[in-house]
Structure 1
Amino acid sequence: MTTTEQFMQALQQAESTGNVDALVALHAPDATLRNLTDRTWQGTDGARDFWQTYLGNFERIHSEFTHSQEQSGLGVMEWTAEGELKGGQPISYRGVSLIDVDGNQVKAFRTYYDSASFVQPTAES
């Protein structure tokens, strides 16, 4: 099983249980994680914070991976996620995540997704 396959499996497990331990264990001690914000998380403590923050946005969430590939130290995952935000609003969005793999560890994680799905419409006056 490739590191990318292990990552996808660990993410789905974290989404279903809320426990990020198996997902964090895949990250190298000096890993970096980035999403569409300007912030970068570092190391396994950063990975734990990143994934707990991610899950904390949702009442429930489930990612389905539609395409994935790992080659020459790069894992690519295309996915859709569906669930419910905190507060009850349904959400469905899609994106792509990339991991740099060194041995069996994730050295870097970057994700790009449809951030407009997180914007809640305002009520008209």
Structure 2
Amino acid sequence: MANLTETFMQALQTAEETRDVSPLVALFAPASTLQNLTSRTWEGEDGAREFWETYLGNFGAIRSEFTRHADTGEYGVMEWDAQGELKTGHPIAYRGTSIIEHDGQQVKAFRTYYDSAAFVQPEAQAQ
């Protein structure tokens, strides 16, 4: 039987493939929080939907491959590599780590840390 971290990883890959974030959002508790490298915090199921739709909206295509993961029953940690292309058509590859806090049934908090430099094009390529 899959733990919540494994269920989360599968739901994210499905959302990346189908662009439907509903099954992923369904994993989040009503009072959940989501954070990335920005200073903003998204809250609740509506915040989760906005977070994931915004994330996917950055890409023409994206696929996360999980290289390591662990689940303690309260925390899940996932290391991943993502490859795809931005909406502009430029290829992108970056890696990061995501952490979920959960109760075994729903995600209470999601935090993700990644190589944001991958999103910045060198000036020579931007022309």
In structure 1, the residue matched to 2:34 is 33
Identify which range, 51-60 or 99-108, moves more after superposition.
Answer: 99-108
Q: Quote the Cα distance in structure 1 between the aligned partners of 2:52 and 2:63.
A: 14
1:1-125 mapped onto 2 (5 Å cutoff):
1-123=2-124
Please give the secondary structure, in 2, of the residue aligned with 1:50.
Answer: helix
Of all paired residues, the percent bearing the same amino acid is 65
Is the 8 Å Cα contact of residues 3 and 104 (structure 2) preserved in structure 1? no
Give unmatched runs, 5+ long, in structure 2.
none
- Over the residues paired in the alignment, what is the CA RMSD in angstroms? 1.3
1:103 is displaced (CA, Å) by 3.1
Give unmatched runs, 5+ long, in structure 1.
none
Question: How many equivalent pairs are there?
Answer: 125
Residue 13 of structure 1 aligns with an amino acid whose one-letter code is: T
1:22 is displaced (CA, Å) by 0.3
Q: Quote the Cα distance in structure 1 between the aligned partners of 2:42 and 2:68.
A: 26
* Runs of 4+, deviation exceeding 3 Å: none
Q: Deviation per CA, 1:37-89, whole angstroms, max 9, x where unpaired?
A: 00000000000000000000000000000000000401000000000001110
| TM-score when normalising by structure 1 | 0.97
Q: Quote the Cα distance in structure 2 between the aligned partners of 1:94 and 1:44.
A: 26
